[in-house]
Amino acid sequence: MSEQVHNRLAVVRAERKVSRQQLAEAVGAHYQTVGYIERGQYNPSLDLALRIAEYFALPVEALFSLEPFSPLTDEVYGRKRR
Amino acid sequence: MTTGLTKYDRRMYAVMNRRDGRPLYATAARRRAVVCAHIALTAIGAAAPVTTALTESMWPLFVLFGALLPWCLATGVINGATRGLLELRGRALDERQLRERDRVLARAHRVTTLLLLAAVLGAFAAGGFADVRMGVLLTPVLFGVLVVHALMPLWVAGLTVRDEPDEE
């Protein structure tokens, strides 16, 4: 029943230089929960996903998706074709 | 999660989330070993007062006192591995932990039910085939079942907890 929810939380968190502990405290979760979300071992509730998105001031679909994310460099610069 | 926590909750949360004992429960194999040791120590501790009651000798109580300290240590290690999943109040846990706790309690309930069934059948079998008086069996079986019922969630939690996410 549980579908894999893909996320780019680790990438965004590293980019913003936010530790798991800081994010966890900001959204009211345990730091391990953030780690399990990043590893794809736990799918957050809509409530938690929205709180994480709000923390990063991003739309929730920028962080979570039912489809795998393409690399950010591909999205920004486009895939180089030979 | 951290809103509405009492001073006691915060203290317990800090205790349960200390990372000092992490090497003891870092891998699934180590957690299994700790849980097995805890089960063995519990069996020794539970058998001691029953043996004392049945034989009227005092030496099993010294065994109980000897097993108490390592039992407490093993309990602490399991609680550390689960980050206080069963010790902390619900308001000190987040949504994942609450879900995990529900899962652990449900699984422990199923296992305990099977063990209760085995205990009842075993007691009847002992009474029927081995000609043991049911009255003699009642106290040790009930005591053993009570101990297992109380500790099964801790053992299940210790066995099912996942590895810590990698360090950043």
Chain A residues with beta carbon closer than 8 angstroms to that of B5: none
Provide the residue range defining the domain that includes B63: 7-84+93-160
Provide the residue range defining the domain that includes A57: 6-63
Say how many domains are in chain B: 1
**Distance between B83 CA and the closest CA of chain A, angstroms:** 10
Given a cut of 90, is residue A47 above it in pLDDT? yes
- Determine, yes or no, domain membership for A17: yes
Chain A residues with beta carbon closer than 8 angstroms to that of B162: 36, 41
Looking up residue A56, the CATH number of its domain turns out to be 1.10.260.40
- Determine, yes or no, domain membership for B167: no
The Cα B111–Cα B126 span in angstroms is 22
Q: What is the mean pLDDT of chain B?
A: 91
Given a cut of 80, is residue A2 above it in pLDDT? no
Query: B97 vs A17, A81, B22, B52, CA distance in Å?
Result: 26, 46, 19, 41
- Determine, yes or no, domain membership for B166: no
Write out pLDDT tens, residues B105-164.
999 999 999 999 998 898 888 878 877 777 778 888 889 999 999 999 999 999 999 988
**Distance between A40 CA and the closest CA of chain B, angstroms:** 11
Phi, psi of B108 (to 5 degrees): -65, -40
User: Could B95 and A45 be called an inter-chain contact, meaning their C-beta atoms sit closer than 8 Å?
Assistant: yes
- Determine, yes or no, domain membership for B1: no
Say how many domains are in chain A: 1
